[in-house]
Amino acid sequence: MDLPAIEELHFEDAPAVDSPPGPESRRLVRRQAEIESGAVLYPTDVPIAFENGKGATLKDVDGNLYLDFFAGIGVLNVGHANPYVTEAAVEQAERLPHTLDFPTRTRVELIETLDEIAPEGLRGRNRVNFGGPTGSDAVEATIKLAKRVTGNDGLIAFRGSFHGETSGAYSLTADTKYKRHYTPLLPEVEHARYPYPFRQDGSPEELVERALEDVQTLLGDRYGGMANPAGVWVEPIQGEGGTVVPPEGFLSGLRDLCDEYEVPLIVDEIQTGMGRTGEWWASEHYDVTPDIMPMAKALGSGFPLSGTMYDENLDAWGPGGHTGTFRGFNPAMRASIRAIEYTRHHDLLAHARELGAFIVDRLAECEAENPHVGEVRGKGLFVGLELVTDDGEPAPDLLETVRTTCYENGVLVWAGGRGDNVIRLLPPLVMTEAQAETGISILIDAIESATD
Ligand SMILES: Cc1ncc(COP(=O)(O)O)c(C=O)c1O
For the chain, the structural domain boundaries read 6-76+347-451, 85-345
Q: Which atom of ligand 1 is nearest to the CA of 296?
A: 10
Taken in order 294, 296, 301, 304, the sign of the CA dihedral is positive
169 C-alpha to ligand 1 centroid (Å): 9
**Same topology between domain 6-76+347-451 and domain 85-345:** no
HSE, side-chain direction, 13 A CA sphere, residue 282: 29
**Average pLDDT for 91-97:** 98
Whether the per-residue pLDDT at 1 is higher than 90: the answer is no
Whether 270 is in the pocket of ligand 1, judged by its Cβ within 6 Å, is: yes
The predicted pLDDT at position 417 comes to 97
Whether the per-residue pLDDT at 198 is higher than 90: the answer is yes
Q: Are 80 and 54 in contact (CB under 8 A)?
A: yes
**Mean confidence (pLDDT) of the chain:** 97
Nearest in space to 129 (alpha carbons), one of 302, 295, 331 = 295
Cα–Cα distance, 355 to 361 (Å, whole number): 10
**Average pLDDT for 232-258:** 98
Cα–Cα distance, 46 to 69 (Å, whole number): 13
Whether the per-residue pLDDT at 155 is higher than 90: the answer is yes
% of the chain exceeding 90 in pLDDT: 99
Whether 140 is in the pocket of ligand 1, judged by its Cβ within 6 Å, is: no
**Average pLDDT for 150-166:** 98
**Average pLDDT for 217-231:** 97
Residue of minimum CA distance from atom 6 in ligand 1: 164
318 C-alpha to ligand 1 centroid (Å): 26
Whether the per-residue pLDDT at 328 is higher than 90: the answer is no
Instruction: Indicate the pairing of strand 229-234 with strand 50-54.
Output: unpaired
How far is Cα of residue 332 from the mean position of the Cα atoms in its chain? 18
How far apart, in Å, are the Cα atoms of 281 and each of 295, 323, 433?
10, 25, 23
Q: Which atom of ligand 1 is nearest to the CA of 73?
A: 14
Q: Are 66 and 58 in contact (CB under 8 A)?
A: yes
Question: How does residue 452 score in pLDDT terms, banded at 50, 70 and 90?
Answer: confident
Domain 6-76+347-451, CATH:
3.90.1150.10
Residue 235: how many other CB atoms lie within 10 Å: 25
Cα–Cα distance, 217 to 207 (Å, whole number): 15
Question: How does residue 123 score in pLDDT terms, banded at 50, 70 and 90?
Answer: very high
% of the chain exceeding 70 in pLDDT: 100
Nearest in space to 65 (alpha carbons), one of 101, 134, 11 = 11
Cis bond leading into 246, ω under 30°?
no
299 C-alpha to ligand 1 centroid (Å): 12
Strands ordered across the beta sheet of 57-60: 50-54, 57-60, 65-68, 411-412
Whether the per-residue pLDDT at 408 is higher than 90: the answer is yes
Q: Are 43 and 32 in contact (CB under 8 A)?
A: yes
269 C-alpha to ligand 1 centroid (Å): 9
**Average pLDDT for 376-404:** 98
270 C-alpha to ligand 1 centroid (Å): 6
Whether 126 is in the pocket of ligand 1, judged by its Cβ within 6 Å, is: no
Q: Are 117 and 280 in contact (CB under 8 A)?
A: yes
Please name the residues in contact with 124: beta carbons below 8 A apart, sequence gap of 6 or more: 115
Whether 163 is in the pocket of ligand 1, judged by its Cβ within 6 Å, is: yes
194 C-alpha to ligand 1 centroid (Å): 18
Beta bridge partners of 382: 379
How far apart, in Å, are the Cα atoms of 331 and each of 110, 300, 336?
11, 9, 9
Whether the per-residue pLDDT at 64 is higher than 90: the answer is yes
Cα–Cα distance, 150 to 130 (Å, whole number): 21
Phi-psi region of 154 (alpha: psi -120 to 50; beta: other; left: phi over 0): beta
Whether the per-residue pLDDT at 112 is higher than 90: the answer is yes
Nearest in space to 108 (alpha carbons), one of 405, 330, 373 = 330
**Average pLDDT for 223-230:** 97
Whether 158 is in the pocket of ligand 1, judged by its Cβ within 6 Å, is: no
Phi, psi of 295 (to 5 degrees): -135, 145
Whether 276 is in the pocket of ligand 1, judged by its Cβ within 6 Å, is: no
The predicted pLDDT at position 51 comes to 98
Q: Which atom of ligand 1 is nearest to the CA of 137?
A: 11
What value, to the nearest 5°, has the Cα angle with vertex 265 and ends 260 and 270? 165
Whether 157 is in the pocket of ligand 1, judged by its Cβ within 6 Å, is: no
Q: Which atom of ligand 1 is nearest to the CA of 166?
A: 11
**Average pLDDT for 356-360:** 98
The predicted pLDDT at position 309 comes to 98
How is domain 85-345 classified at the CATH fold level? Aspartate Aminotransferase; domain 2 (3.40.640)
136 C-alpha to ligand 1 centroid (Å): 6
Cα–Cα distance, 217 to 208 (Å, whole number): 14
Whether 295 is in the pocket of ligand 1, judged by its Cβ within 6 Å, is: no
62 C-alpha to ligand 1 centroid (Å): 31
Whether 308 is in the pocket of ligand 1, judged by its Cβ within 6 Å, is: no
Phi, psi of 303 (to 5 degrees): -105, 130
The predicted pLDDT at position 142 comes to 98
